[in-house]
Structure 1
């Protein structure tokens, strides 16, 4: 098996557009944002760093689950076991961030959840870079790694950016429900929709649920 992708050059990983290089680049940015959050004193700046991290983590994970992990399950020995392990980590992060978004900044319970999320992200990165991605590197040539990188990037740029309990971890359900929820998330991010207060949170949660139900109904009608 190839060694961890953390230690390899861009050329060894298939070039700058390879899925391996793109993954490592996102992982490095996650690490930078976590360190920034811990280093900052200003509450507003800390919240901005956390917001940027959440948006990156969820779009990154959605693209993995939609594009990358199906290829791993088809191409890599023990691919099912490896992707299931990472999907479980993603679900734990999803649940914790959902809790964080319901709590006020500065709440000790919220800070504890943030640190737990950071630990899970770091664990997830190590599982991917040390175990899963080296096996994918052994299974695919550089050209396929670059094609997979392009597909993954396209999905990541249009993926949901916040946790949604209604979204399953695997295709086709995640892709179908992700389309309307991505539009909802990106409008929320772009316009700074207020989710503070019970009324705002209830309205946004209801909108997300309605979008998910509408997508599910559309799929059922198409199948019949």
Structure 2
């Protein structure tokens, strides 16, 4: 079920300046959403093969790191500052959980399996709906509730968490802090090592990615400490 936003109130056609600048969480969110749409369109245009699978993996990595940052940093701010924020974020979290469950199945099924293709179509539809709900309803309400400086501070926190977030579905991880960070962030190192060692990735790129896992784990530890302080 989608949120019933009023036409013309969303952030999709606003300028970067109107969203609070490049550092604003709204600008960062919209940039990721645009990349998700680009990857979904690309996947749908490609024939079966390694390039199509690579595009899907890139999308999955982006979707899950993005959603984790939302759930850790952004939605708590919406619940604190936006009237009706609890209901709004609960709906988006439900969409995230559906995406999580479907993607878990997609990663278990073989490419070319008709069941897998159907689940991919369903998850793409959910991602597009989630983007609309956020850009047309939830994010505009947040912008109306806080000032530009707060949007930029949220953007910095959001980016920090996103860089140390899991990149694959983990159905048992809760959708809200502090539980999501305490359980999800430690899985980030595993996910990123898994991404780095993917057979489709070149050896040179894999080596470089493996080296960065240590820095991700350090960032993850800092994120856990931050969330613990905030939720004491």
Describe how 1:45-194 pairs up with structure 2 within 5 A: 45-192=51-198
Q: Which runs of 5+ in 2 are unaligned?
A: 1-6, 201-227
Q: Segments of 4+ in structure 1 off by > 2 A? A: none
Once the two structures are superposed, residues 28-51 of structure 1 have per-residue CA deviations (whole angstroms, 9 ceiling, x without a partner) of 000000000011125100000000
CA distance in 2, matches of 1:165, 1:29: 24
Answer with 75-84 or 177-186: which moved more. 177-186
Equivalence for 2:204: none
User: TM-score w.r.t. structure 1 length?
Assistant: 0.85
Distance 1:38 1:191 in 2: 26
SS in 2 for 1:85: helix
Q: CA deviation at 1:14?
A: 0.2
CA distance, structure 2, for counterparts of residue 42 and residue 74 of structure 1? 45
User: 8 Å contact 2:48–2:112 — kept in the other structure?
Assistant: no
Question: Does the residue aligned with 1:6 lie in a helix, a strand or coil?
Answer: coil
In structure 1, distance between residues paired with 2:20 and 2:8: 13
Q: CA deviation at 1:54?
A: 0.2
- In the alignment, which residue of structure 2 is the partner of 1:6? 12
Distance 2:64 2:129 in 1: 16
User: Which residue in 1 is equivalent to 2:225?
Assistant: none
* 2:36 alignment partner, SS class: helix
1:22 to 28, 40, 44: 28
- Structure 1, residues 36-72: CA drift from partner, whole Å, max 9, x if none? 0011125100000000000000000000000000000
